[in-house]
Amino acid sequence: MTNQVIILTEKEMSAVIAFYEENKVIRNAPGVIFAAKTADTAITAYKSGKVLFQGAGAEREAARFSSSVSGTSAAVQSSGAKGDMLPAKFETLSVIGSDETGTGDFFGPVTVAACFVRNDQIELLRELGVKDSKQLTDVYMRQIAEDLKQVVTYAILTLDNNKYNDIQSKGWSQGKIKAVLHNQAIGNVLNQLSPEVPDYILIDQFAERKVYYNHLKNEQTIIRDHVLFSTKAENLHVSVAIASILARVAFLDAMDQLSVKAGMTLPKGAGAKVDAVASQIIRKKGEPFLRTITKAHFANTQKALKLVYKR
């Protein structure tokens, strides 16, 4: 199990608690002031100011809070980003970045975004608010997303729940789903740029290079040239930070539409609140309907059924 520990100020701790409020769980342990559980990560906050992230998504979740909104660096007890060695002054180059969201949420789709940032656009994009993107609120990301779209070349893919459940039931792992979507989104951006080409392509790493390309072995077009992989990539180039924002806003828009369809506000994540809302939907609209707005293979499905039928 991967463990990450970060040390935060009181203000930063409040931001963590607010972020995971919908995923809150009860944990009666000495020194614990807050605990939450997402689909792949357990989060535990302590009176000392430390926050422990445990699980497959520990690095990703810890990276959200590795620096504060005000720019004050928090202490991160990890080796930092992992992946390919990047060229010198990589942050100043013209790069296509890609990122995804929604993979740990029971409700809603998986969204992937890729965008190209020329080196002469970097300062402008930073002025538009693309700093510490993992710290930006959903409201703020929605406010700046349209401005960002006016500057960069981008592609956004949204995999709806019916399609997700169909291919997942045929044996597609989340890793394969993400790899195919990243490859397609990057390809879409390259097609828009042609004949212009980026210096590099940076993918926020979720799999080793060999595994990533194995997932793509049956794809008609596979993007290989100048592709780099790194964890915490949103901190390494503004293009990935923007891709993260655009993917998140697309996910939020889809969640709004699904909430209207469900007749109630759908919570994010995969915690106990999600189970409770899912059970309400089963009672009102039935289990088949629930499948159309969720990732049906998540454990939340069975938990919701137990709440309905008191199994």
Assign residue 41 the CATH number of its domain: 3.30.310.10
How many domains does the chain fold into? 3
Residue 239 lies in a domain: yes
Q: How far is 154 from 16, CA to CA, in rounded Å?
A: 30
Residue 290, domain member (yes or no) = yes
Q: Are residues 137 and 252 in the same domain?
A: yes
If asked whether residues 172 and 237 sit together in one domain, one would say: yes
If asked whether residues 150 and 98 sit together in one domain, one would say: yes
pLDDT of residue 113: 98
Domain boundary pick from 42, 76, 110: 76
* Same domain? 278 vs 142: no
Same domain, 282 and 205: no
- How far apart, in whole angstroms, are the C-alpha atoms of residue 254 and residue 163? 14
Residue 39 token pair: 């689909």
pLDDT of residue 127: 78
User: What's 168's domain CATH number?
Assistant: 3.30.420.10
> What is the Cα–Cα distance from 271 to 254, expressed in whole angstroms?
20
In a domain? residue 59: yes
Give the Cα-Cα-Cα angle 70, 71, 72 (nearest 5 degrees).
100
In a domain, 289, yes or no: yes
Q: Provide the residue-wise pLDDT of the chain in tens; the chain has 311 residues.
A: 567 888 888 888 888 898 888 899 988 777 889 999 988 889 999 888 888 888 888 888 888 776 433 333 344 333 356 778 888 889 899 999 999 999 999 999 999 999 999 999 988 888 787 865 556 788 989 988 999 999 999 999 999 999 999 999 999 999 999 999 999 999 999 999 988 899 999 999 999 999 999 999 999 999 999 999 998 898 889 999 999 999 999 999 999 999 999 999 999 999 999 999 999 999 999 999 999 999 999 999 999 999 998 75
Residue 104 CB neighbours (<10 A): 21
* Same domain, residue pair 175 and 26: no
What is the extent of the structural domain holding 147? 90-256
Is 85 part of any domain? no
Please indicate, yes or no, whether residues 50 and 100 belong to a single structural domain of this protein: no
Same domain for 149 and 190, yes or no, is yes
Q: What is the pTM of this model?
A: 0.74
Report the pLDDT value the prediction gives residue 80, as an integer from 0 to 100.
Answer: 56
Looking at the structure, do residues 111 and 194 belong to the same domain, yes or no? yes
- Using one digit for the tens of pLDDT, what is the confidence trace for 111-129? 999 999 999 998 888 878 7
Closest CA to 187 of 157, 159, 150: 157
**φ and ψ of 270, to 5 deg:** -150, 30
Last residue of a domain, one of 238, 256, 274: 256
133: in domain? yes
Do 238 and 266 belong together in one domain? no
Q: Does residue 236 sit in the same domain as residue 251?
A: yes
- Do 70 and 94 fall within a single domain? no
Q: What is the pLDDT of residue 72?
A: 36
Of 18, 51, 76, the domain-final residue: 76
Check if the beta carbon of residue 62 is closer than 8 Å to that of residue 55: no
Task: State the pLDDT at residue 66.
Answer: 64
**What's the pLDDT score for residue 68?**
35
